[in-house]
């Protein structure tokens, strides 16, 4: 098959949510439908829950949160679906942001009791910034939550996106009776505890049909008719284009744990979600259907197999045809590399693959060649954009606790920050190392991994820093002068860019006022809007 037709049968997306909204549960149900796992009712059994998700790391198992991001592929109705899992914990938000660069759309899960939560808003901000199409799944309808119309208003207001319901619930909580698919004009009746995935949907083509009253009772049938009439009156006919342009988010209701509303979601997703899209590079836009292979690394994961210190770099294929054992050009290193054992992933198992196409995510064995954002091509010199580092929120100085293990510590911190666990800033003097992270948990992970994987002991000393600012200028002299003046606050990032570590918001404002020809950026990719 040609690259063009391979693209048509692929969908690459992520499920994102505030922790506990039901992302893991929904993921499992999708895997069930895709035949990737066989056991129904999986979520109740923690064993399956753990193995179906991506907890490769010991620390993750200990804490019971999903630190790692992995890829799960399955087929549904002839479509190859690549689902990229993201860590739910907010301290690993940056990992999630990076994963979002590798997908073409997302499903956002919301808990109907809690509504839009803090992490939901931040994730949505990233989607908006990248213009990623979003489908919203309102979960836990078997609980008494907020009124569905109020939820729609809340979504529009807090997530700053127009919404369009494509399914509608009949009651909620203990009275929850089912969801009517406004898209397929089908009624799916709820049987609590049902874990079956086979198709037993009652088709009601016309809501006026008396069968509806028989099935759900007159009162609820009347309510559903009124609700649907209201929706059809208020909202425009669903149009795929504004969804693909990220202007409108279709909304579905259901209960993931009860396997309810999930099939409607998956079926509609397969039909409306975008096929693998092209990506912008620093030189030109690369279309997905170009014949030459290109791809970029969006994640590096260490120690998938704890017996070896192996690293796996996750590559998203952007265009063309990737083939095992072919040489590809590593643009940053200006080096040609060949991959004998590229992997495709299915939950925690991995298989060697011969080829891959746009939208696919493959795992490449890495012996230290890769950093996040690296681009592979068939020779063209260009780097994919949109994998920025954001200014961390917490900064701590890395203190070596065992001088005999200095080398191990250096190597470990370098490798862990290459993986994107946190950001490393090295002071101008070359000695002082500051680690910047989004949350406290990242420091714990680094400390744990440095000790367990590299045998190096460290501690972190809090320091007073407010923001890391990358700088651009129209006047090199002014920038050189600023760096000289602020030498104590100038650090270098992983790519040797100078970064001004502002101690306070006030210090940053003074710097901005006094240096009009310098622009201070809180993301490392200056064309992207600032997140913070
Ligand atoms: P997350 O990945 O977004 O963090 O959420 P996860 O799927 O782990 O779900 C969080 C909790 O919500 C789990 O309960 C899960 O069983 C429950 N849940 C998921 N979907 C539904 C739903 O449709 N209805 C209801 N009522 N609950 C739902 P837990 O007690 O934390 O874990 P477990 O013991 O059930 O595994």
- The residue whose C-alpha atom lies closest to atom 1 belonging to ligand 1 is 20
394-530, CATH topology level: Alpha-Beta Plaits (3.30.70)
For 427-452, give the DSSP string.
Answer: ETTS--EEEEESSHHHHHHHHHHHHH
What pLDDT is recorded for position 8?
Answer: 97
Q: Do domains 3-272 and 279-377 have the same CATH topology?
A: yes
Q: What is the dihedral of CA 463, 467, 471, 475, to 10 degrees?
A: -90
How many other β-carbons are positioned within 10 Å of the β-carbon of residue 351? 10
- How many degrees, rounded to 5, is the angle at CA 382 between CA 377 and CA 387? 100
CA of 88 to the centre of ligand 1 (A): 13
Q: At what angle do helices 440-454 and 406-418 cross, to 10 degrees?
A: 130
What pLDDT is recorded for position 429?
Answer: 80
What pLDDT is recorded for position 532?
Answer: 29
Is the Cα torsion angle 55, 56, 62, 66 positive or negative in sign? negative
Phi-psi region of 142 (alpha: psi -120 to 50; beta: other; left: phi over 0): alpha
50 phi, psi to nearest 5 deg: -70, -45
Residue 17 Cα: closest atom of ligand 1: 3
What pLDDT is recorded for position 300?
Answer: 82
Domain boundaries, the chain: 3-272, 279-377, 394-530
DSSP conformation class of 340: S
Spatial separation of the C-alpha atoms in residues 41 and 44, rounded to whole Å: 6
- Segments in the chain below pLDDT 70: 36-70, 88-92, 191-201, 302-310, 345-350, 386-389, 524-532
Residues within 6 Å of ligand 1 by CB:
17, 19-25, 43-44, 46, 49, 88, 139-140, 142-143, 255-258
| pTM, 2 dp | 0.82
3-272, CATH topology level: Rossmann fold (3.40.50)
- The residue whose C-alpha atom lies closest to atom 31 belonging to ligand 1 is 20
What pLDDT is recorded for position 338?
Answer: 94
CA of 44 to the centre of ligand 1 (A): 9
Strand (E) positions, 63-149? 71-76, 79-84, 105-111, 134-139
What are the tokens at 461?
Answer: 């000393």
- The residue whose C-alpha atom lies closest to atom 26 belonging to ligand 1 is 140
One of 3.40.50.300, 3.40.50.620, 3.40.47.10, 1.10.287.130 is the CATH number of 279-377, namely 3.40.50.300
What are the tokens at 179?
Answer: 């969801």
């Amino acid at each position: 098959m040609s690259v063009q037709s391979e693209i048509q049968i692929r969908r690459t997306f992520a499920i994102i949510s505030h922790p506990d909204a039901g992302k893991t549960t929904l993921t499992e149900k999708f895997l069930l439908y895709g035949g990737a796992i066989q056991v129904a009712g999986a979520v109740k059994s923690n064993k399956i829950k753990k193995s179906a998700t991506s907890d490769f790391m010991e620390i993750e198992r200990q804490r019971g949160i999903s630190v790692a991001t992995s890829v799960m592929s399955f087929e549904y109705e002839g479509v190859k679906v690549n689902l990229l899992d993201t860590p739910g914990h907010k301290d690993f938000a940056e990992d999630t942001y990076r994963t979002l660069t590798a997908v073409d759309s997302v499903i956002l899960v919301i808990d109907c009791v809690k509504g839009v939560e803090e992490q939901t808003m931040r994730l949505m901000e990233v989607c908006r910034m990248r213009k990623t199409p979003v489908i919203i799944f309102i979960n836990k309808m078997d609980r008494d939550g907020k009124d569905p119309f109020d939820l729609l208003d809340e979504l529009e207001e807090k997530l700053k996106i127009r919404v369009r319901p494509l399914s509608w619930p009949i009651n909620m909580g203990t009275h929850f009776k089912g969801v009517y698919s406004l898209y397929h004009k089908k009624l799916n009746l709820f049987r609590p505890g049902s874990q079956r995935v086979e198709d037993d949907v009652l088709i009601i083509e016309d809501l006026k049909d008396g069968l509806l009253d028989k099935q759900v009772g007159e009162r609820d049938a009347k309510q559903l008719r009124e609700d649907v009439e209201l929706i059809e009156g208020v909202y425009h006919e669903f149009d795929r284009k504004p969804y693909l342009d990220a202007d409108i988010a279709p909304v579905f209701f259901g209960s993931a744990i009860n396997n309810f509303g999930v099939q409607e979601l998956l079926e509609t997703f397969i039909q409306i979600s975008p096929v693998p899209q092209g990506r912008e590079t620093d030189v030109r836009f690369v279309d997905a259907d170009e014949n030459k292979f290109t791809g970029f690394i969006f994640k590096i994961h260490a120690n998938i197999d704890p017996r070896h210190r192996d690293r796996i770099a996750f590559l998203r294929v952007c265009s063309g045809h990737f083939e095992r054992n072919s040489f590809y050009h590593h643009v940053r290193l200006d080096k040609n590399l060949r991959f004998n054992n590229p992997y495709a992933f299915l939950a925690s198992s991995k298989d060697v693959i011969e080829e891959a196409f746009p939208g696919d995510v493959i795992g490449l064995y890495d012996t230290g060649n890769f950093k996040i954002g690296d681009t592979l091509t068939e020779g063209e010199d260009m780097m994919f954009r949109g994998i920025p580092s954001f200014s961390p929120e917490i900064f701590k100085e890395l203190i070596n606790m065992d001088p005999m293990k200095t080398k191990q510590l250096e190597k470990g911190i370098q490798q862990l920050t290459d993986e994107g666990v946190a950001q490393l800033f090295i002071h101008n003097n070359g000695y002082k190392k500051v680690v910047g992270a989004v949350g406290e948990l990242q420091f714990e992970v680094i400390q744990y991994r440095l000790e367990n994987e590299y045998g190096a002991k460290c501690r972190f000393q809090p320091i007073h820093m407010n923001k890391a600012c990358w700088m651009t200028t129209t006047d090199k002299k002014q920038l050189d002068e600023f760096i000289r003046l602020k030498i104590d606050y100038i650090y270098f990032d992983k790519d040797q860019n100078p970064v001004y570590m502002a101690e306070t918001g006030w210090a940053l404002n003074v710097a901005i006022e006094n240096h009009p020809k310098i622009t201070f950026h809180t993301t490392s990719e200056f064309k992207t809007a600032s997140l913070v």
